[in-house]
Amino acid sequence: MIHRFDFLVLGSGIAGLSYALKVALNGTVAIITKKEKAESNTNYAQGGVAAVMSSMDSYDMHIDDTLSTGAGLCHRDSVETMVKEGPARLRELMDLGVAFTRKQGELDLGREGGHSVNRIVHAKDLTGREIERALLARIAEHPNIQVFENHVAIDLITEHHVVGERVIDRTNIHCWGAYVLDEIRNRVDKFIARVVLVATGGLGHAYLHTTNPLIATGDGVAMSYRAGATIANMEFIQFHPTTLYDSGSPSFLISEAVRGFGAVLKTVDGEEFMQRYDKRESLAPRDIVARAIDTELKKRGDDCVLLDLLHLSAVSVKEHFPHIYNTALTKFKLDITKEPIPVVPAAHYSCGGVVTDIDGRSSIHGLYACGEVSMTGVHGANRLASNSLLEALVFSDRAAKHSAAFFGKHSNERIPEIKDWDESGTFNSEEWVLISHNRKEIQQIMWDYVGIVRSDLRLERAYRRMVLIQNEVETFYKKTKVTEGLIELRNLALCATLIIRCAMKRKESRGLHFTTDYLERDNAHFLSDTLVD
């Protein structure tokens, strides 16, 4: 079946929904989403959105904190744009109905690692759920927007898919839509549109332990790469220092805001250790804290460290962190006001992705990227806490404005005839064990060899194995009818390979990329993004 819209949005997290609401003023919009519409990383965001909302704060301070956490690789122009446009975007969210937590009428600003002042706007410890709720409510009311749940985008439609012979110039590619698996009807549809936004979020499930929900399998990066878009900085995978130990998959996050509230990291013997690693102690940026925990665990042979809140008022902890308190108590039988929380790091966020300019434009005509899938330059080698939701808000707004203009200019041009999805020569495989086995293999390799601490030897070993897996998966993909599991596996294998390739290129330690073979930063050779195309 063929669906025609003016704008096609892949993903229903904060980036996709914010963009859709804005471009819907200019034309019809389809939002494609893998599962139920709220299921996204956004929906699980706890800490909040960083923005300059108080007189104690300033743009310069937020810019400096972002640049310093980004370890020399942030693009200053993107950071300035994000920081300066952030407050207006937050006010827009409030106008749309997002209820942030207030104290005596004023926004209650929390603190997280790497921030020099309190600047985290939040809705208790369920900020993402509140944002997602309000945006979806506005989307539901909009006559120009249609949401397609349980639809999985497989590949972007470009010159490669045009009927008839065509010479493909890789420097001049256009995107006109996507092939999408309708999971309910079990068929692949064509969604044709003048403008396409990739807003498919992160890729946490390339790793064995991650805070990300199951949707985060790097589909947008993989689709864009296959279509010919430039990808960058995939080596910078952020590990969140504090997830509840042994809490299953995905790992349950204990927000950094808990440390911002005064919780302290200790070894299992109760010894504070962060002072040995950074003067900001438990509130140092995430790369430093995650690496410190990893070092302590390896040195001592322990399974976890402890996050101690026992010196804090139990009433305040329950009031500020009701979701964390209740989940720990009911699901994990742990009263965090009475016992310290056993924690370990887990893969959390991808700083790299589809390279965009300051208006969300990728290197492909008509293809925009926003949110975690994109590489706008604001995070550099390490993302400052709570800058992710902010980045998605600011750049989805800019992308919406630019897309509307692009649409105005090109809406009368003819979109070429696109081939139907071709599944000839494929069959329904019974071999699902291959998919689950390959997926686990990728996750284990990435966790063991491409994690918080890397080395040449580990990366080379990971690369050799990943190339084999990727070839195996591609062969299997070519002869098998597509399913969600297979689409995700193919994308995870590709993203894992891209992460390793980028990591192998960076022969220094910087931000989230730490290797025992090159312990120092090397500005002479590596003060630049790692591009793959």
**Residue 247 binds which one of ligand FAD, ligand SIN, none, with CB within 5 to 8 A depending on kind?**
none
Give the interface with ligand FAD as residue ranges (CB under 6 A). Answer: 10-16, 32-35, 39-42, 44-49, 127-128, 152-153, 199-202, 211-212, 215, 219, 253, 349, 371-373, 386-389, 392
For ligand FAD, the closer CB: 213 or 342: 213
Give me the least distance between CB of 47 and ligand SIN, in Å please.
Answer: 3
Give me the least distance between CB of 305 and ligand SIN, in Å please.
Answer: 16
- The CB-nearest residue to ligand SIN is 47
For ligand SIN, the closer CB: 346 or 462: 346
For ligand SIN, the closer CB: 46 or 509: 46
In terms of Cα–Cα distance, which of 281, 339, 276 is closest to 310?
Answer: 339
In terms of Cα–Cα distance, which of 501, 298, 493, 287 is closest to 385?
Answer: 287
Give me the least distance between CB of 516 and ligand FAD, in Å please.
Answer: 28
Q: Tell the burial category of 35 from Cβ atoms under 10 Å away from its Cβ (0-12, 13-18, 19+).
A: middle
* Residues forming beta bridges with residue 453, ordered by sequence position: none
Question: Which DSSP string corresponds to 129-143?
Answer: HHHHHHHHHHHHH-T
Give alpha helix (H) positions in 32-105.
59-69, 76-96
- Phi, then psi, of 236 in degrees rounded to 5: -90, 80
Percent helix, strand, coil in the chain (nearest 5)? 40, 20, 40
Give me the least distance between CB of 385 and ligand SIN, in Å please.
Answer: 4
Helix (H, G, I), strand (E, B) or coil at 212: coil
85, 87, 93, 95: CA torsion to nearest 10: -110
**Residue 241 binds which one of ligand SIN, ligand FAD, none, with CB within 5 to 8 A depending on kind?**
none
Give the interface with ligand SIN as residue ranges (CB under 6 A). Answer: 46-47, 255-257, 385-386, 388
**Residue 352 binds which one of ligand FAD, ligand SIN, none, with CB within 5 to 8 A depending on kind?**
none
- Phi, then psi, of 38 in degrees rounded to 5: -80, -15
For ligand SIN, the closer CB: 48 or 377: 48
Query: Hunting for tokens 């805070």 — which residue is that?
Result: 211
Give me the least distance between CB of 222 and ligand FAD, in Å please.
Answer: 9
Give me the least distance between CB of 152 and ligand SIN, in Å please.
Answer: 25
Helix (H, G, I), strand (E, B) or coil at 427: strand
In terms of Cα–Cα distance, which of 422, 454, 438, 453 is closest to 494?
Answer: 438
For ligand SIN, the closer CB: 318 or 501: 318
Catalytic residue among 286, 383, 398, 439: 286
Integer distance in angstroms from the first to the last C-alpha of the chain?
32
Residue 14: both structure tokens together = 């904060």
For ligand SIN, the closer CB: 257 or 394: 257
Q: DSSP class of residue 56?
A: T
For ligand SIN, the closer CB: 265 or 385: 385
Give me the least distance between CB of 296 and ligand FAD, in Å please.
Answer: 23
**Residue 12 binds which one of ligand SIN, ligand FAD, none, with CB within 5 to 8 A depending on kind?**
ligand FAD
Helix (H, G, I), strand (E, B) or coil at 62: helix
Residue 275: both structure tokens together = 């002072």
Catalytic site residue 286?
yes
In terms of Cα–Cα distance, which of 530, 171, 218 is closest to 364?
Answer: 171
Give me the least distance between CB of 249 and ligand FAD, in Å please.
Answer: 12
Sign for the pseudo-dihedral over CA of 220, 221, 222, 228: positive
What are the residues whose beta carbons fall under 8 Å from the beta carbon of 98, sequence distance 6 or more? 123, 130, 131, 134
For ligand SIN, the closer CB: 233 or 515: 233
Q: Which residues are the active-site residues?
A: 286
